[in-house]
Structure 1
Amino acid sequence: MSEVVARLRTGYGAGLRHALLMILCLAVAGWVALRLADEATAGPMLLWFVGAVVSHDLILFPGYATVDRALRRAARGGGREVGPARSSLLNHVRIPALAAGILFLVFLPGILGLSEDTYRAATGQDRFPYVARWLAISGGLFLISATVWVIRLARWRQRSGQPVASGPG
């Protein structure tokens, strides 16, 4: 049996568990495709999916990769190393930014007012709170992240014997 697994790893490039998991994923994707084949809105769904993939790969990914590169360069601070505080800062910006971006995409129709009539018919309410709530949640996420970072920075400086009040750089 180990000879078969070794040949599989050599030919496939990964282990048996990986191959089985990929077969399972393909089976689930095939099942979903078969379910959607009878759906009347399968064409628009496919078009929306392809548009989302293309817009992510051509617009969003280069945009946030550029912003991340600029943040890494700014956190490096002229090339001097100051410990885990700099790299930790990046993650404390990345995580709330990712959460705010995902929330924006999920609630995009409500934020931009694209589904105002549908929303009003379903709930009887106006859509205007979407923008304010998204901004408040995003601001809260960044505030929580900044608070956690300051606490972690103070603890790190306390352990390393550096003065706490001097700031991150």
Structure 2
Amino acid sequence: MAEPLPRFRAAYGSSLQHLVLLIVCFTLTGWVALRIAEEATAGRMLLWFVGAAVAHDLVLFPIYASADRVLRGVLGRSGPAGPDGRSPAAHHSVPGRAGQPSPLNHIRVPVLASGLLFLVYLPGILRQGQETYLAATGQNQHPYLARWLVVTAALFLVSGVWYLVRQIRWRRVGGSAR
């Protein structure tokens, strides 16, 4: 007779911890939904949430998926399994150069972080609601764009330095192995 956990994993498709975590997440989400339902602005929040999901799926996802495809093409990458049949893990290195660090994620991560920050702070960057913001905080929105640009530059700088460190380490290890 088979043990219960392997049978459960085969039937469910994942571990018991995964199921427990999903139950906790759905319970928390249900509790939040019930709390929001009591709010007077629940309909507006639901409309905003659905609109954001639709905007992401129909507008943003195709844009950043296409941009990623172009980036992979420029860097000489292909899909999950390369033309040489290598596994996805093999794509962390440059083709033809065993183990050399790829710049792909060193570009993706700061672009993603910068894009998310841009979306979150877009009203401030565009200076929408200046009077309300001034009344609520006593400050103006003038620094938003400059600060977003500085944070974006810092993200790319840190990522670039980390890529450079990885390249140097690869050359030292690769150079001594030759």
**TM-score (norm: length of structure 1):** 0.83
- Ranked by relative contact order (alpha carbons within 8 Å, sequence separation 6 or more), the top structure is 1
Partner of 1:15: 15
Whether the 8 Å CA contact 1:111–1:130 is kept in 2: the answer is yes
Letter in 2 for 1:145: S
Whether the 8 Å CA contact 2:114–2:152 is kept in 1: the answer is yes
Residues 1:3 and 1:74: Cα distance change in structure 2 (over 3 Å): same
Q: Does 1:160 align with 2:174?
A: yes
Deviates more, 1:28-37 or 1:150-159: 150-159
Partner of 2:148: 134
Structure 2 gaps, min length 5 = 78-82, 84-94
**TM-score (norm: length of structure 2):** 0.79
Q: How does 1:94-113 map to 2 (within 5 A)?
A: 94-113=108-127
Report how many residues are paired. Answer: 160
Q: Cα distance, 1:57 vs. partner?
A: 0.9
Partner of 1:167: none
Partner of 1:66: 66
RMSD over aligned CA atoms reads 2.4
Q: 2:175 & 2:11 partners in 1: Cα distance?
A: 53
Whether the 8 Å CA contact 1:76–1:86 is kept in 2: the answer is no
Q: Cα distance, 1:145 vs. partner?
A: 1.3
Percent pairwise identity: 52
Q: Does 1:46 align with 2:46?
A: yes
Structure 1 gaps, min length 5 = 163-169
Residues 1:7 and 1:143: Cα distance change in structure 2 (over 3 Å): closer
Whether the 8 Å CA contact 1:75–1:86 is kept in 2: the answer is no
**Which aligned segments of 4 or more residues in structure 1 are displaced greater than 3 angstroms?**
2-11, 83-86
Deviates more, 1:2-11 or 1:114-123: 2-11
Letter in 1 for 2:18: H
Higher helix share: 1
Whether the 8 Å CA contact 2:124–2:144 is kept in 1: the answer is yes
